[in-house]
A and B are shown apart, each in its own frame.
Chain A
Amino acid sequence: MQEPKPRPPRRISAGWAPYLLVGPVSAWFAIFFVVPLILLVVMSFRGYVPTKGITDTFTLAHYSKFLTDAFYLGILWRTLKLALLVTAISLLLGYPEAYYLTLVTGKRKAVFLALILSPLFVSAVIRTFGWMIVLAPHGLLNTLLDRLGLIDSPVKFMYSEKGIVIGLVHVLMPYMVLSIYSSLINRNRDLERAAQSLGAHPVTTFLKVTLPLSLPGILAGTLIVLTLSVSAFVTPAMLGGTRVRVIPFVTYEQFMVLLNWPFGSVAAVVLLAIVVTAVMLYHRWLERGKWAEVFR
Chain B
Amino acid sequence: MRPSRWLSLYHYALVGFLIAPVVIVVLVSFTPKTFLEVPLTAFSFRWYRAILAHPEFIGSFFNSLYLALTVCAIAATLGTFAAFALARYRFPGRAALNALFLSPLMVPTVVMGVGALQILARLHMAGTFAGMVMAHVVMTVPYMIRTMLASFAGFDRSLELASMSLGANWSKTFRRITLPLVSPGLLAGAIFCFIVSFDDLTVALFVTGPRMVTLPIRIYAHIEYYTDPIVAAISASIVGMTTLVIIVMEKLVGLNRILGSR
B140 CB to nearest chain A CB (Å): 11
Complex interface: chain A residues within 8 A of B1 (CB): 103, 189
- Bound complex: CA A132 to CA B224 (Å): 12
Q: Does B20 contact A (CB under 8 A)?
A: yes
Q: A295 within 8 Å of B by Cβ? A: no
Interface size bracket, A side: 35 or more
Decide yes or no whether B169 CB sits under 8 A from chain A.
yes
Pick the contact of B38 from A103, A112, A129, A140 — CB < 8 Å?
A140
Q: Kindly provide the distance from the CB of A260 to the nearest chain B CB, expressed in whole angstroms.
A: 12
Q: B74 — nearest CB in chain A belongs to which residue?
A: A28
On whether the beta carbons of B7 and A32 are closer than 8 Å, the reply is no
Cβ contacts under 8 Å, A71 to chain B: none
Q: Choose among A21, A28, A40, A170 the residue that contacts B114 (Cβ–Cβ < 8 A).
A: A40
Whether B242 and A122, one on each chain, are in contact in the complex, defined by CB atoms closer than 8 angstroms, is yes
> How many B residues have CB within 8 A of the partner chain?
82
**Which residues does chain B contribute within 8 Å of A114, judged by CB atoms?**
246, 255, 259
Contacts of A122 in B (CB 8 A): 21-22, 239, 242
A234 in contact with B202 (CB, 8 Å) = yes
Q: A32-B135, A116-B18 are in contact. Are A22 and B223 (CB under 8 A)?
A: no
**Within 8 Å of chain B (Cβ to Cβ): is A200?**
no
Asked whether A281 is an interface residue with its Cβ less than 8 Å from the other chain, the reply is no
Known: A33-B138, A134-B20. A121 touches B195 (CB 8 A): yes
Residues in A whose Cβ lies below 8 Å from that of B158: none
Cα-based distance from A31 to B117 in the complex (angstroms): 13
Q: Does B164 contact A (CB under 8 A)?
A: yes
CB-based contact A256/B206 at 8 Å: yes
Inter-chain contact B242/A97, CB cutoff 8 Å? no
Supposing A29-B101, A31-B119, A126-B235 touch, asked if A10 and B17 sit within 8 A by C-beta, the answer is no
Q: Which of the residues A9, A36, A116 comes within 8 Å of B118, measured between beta carbons?
A: A36
Contact call A129/B25, Cβ cutoff below 8 A: yes
Q: Is B30 at the interface (CB under 8 A from chain A)?
A: no
A90 to chain B, nearest CB (A): 11
Residue of B nearest to A192 (CB): B1
Cross-chain contact A125 with B220 (CB below 8 angstroms) = yes
With A24-B78, A272-B108, A279-B106 as known contacts, state yes or no: A130 contacts B119, CB within 8 Å. Answer: no
Are A126 and B18 in touch, CB under 8 angstroms?
no
Q: What distance in Å separates the Cβ of B16 from its nearest Cβ neighbour in chain A? A: 10
Instruction: Give the distance in Å from the alpha carbon of A281 to the alpha carbon of B215 in the complex.
Output: 38
Contact of A100 among B11, B20, B28 (CB under 8 A): B11
What residue in chain B is nearest A278 (Cβ atoms)? B106
Enumerate chain A residues within 8 angstroms of B164, measured Cβ to Cβ.
9
Minimum CB–CB distance from A206 to chain B (whole Å) comes to 12
Query: Which chain A residues lie closer than 8 Å to B89 at the CB level?
Result: 14, 17-18
CB distance from A94 to the nearest CB of B (A): 8
1/0 per residue, CB under 8 A from B, across A224-236: the answer is 0001001101100
With A and B bound together, what is the CA distance between A100 and B220 in angstroms?
37
Segment of B44-52, B79-87, B179-187 engaged in the interface with chain A: B79-87
List 7 tightest A-B contacts by C-beta distance, closest first.
A130-B21, A36-B115, A231-B108, A21-B85, A18-B89, A123-B199, A18-B85
Listed in ascending order, the chain A residues whose CB lies under 8 Å from chain B are: 4, 6-7, 9-11, 14-15, 17-19, 21-22, 24-26, 28-29, 31-37, 39-40, 43, 93, 96-97, 99-100, 103-104, 110, 112-134, 136, 140, 170, 173-174, 189, 227, 230-231, 233-234, 238, 248, 251-252, 255-256, 261, 264-265, 268, 271-272, 275-276, 279
Beyond the given pairs A25-B145, A129-B219, A248-B110, 4 more chain A to chain B contacts, judged by CB atoms under 8 angstroms and listed by A's residue number, are A25-B79, A231-B108, A233-B110, A272-B111
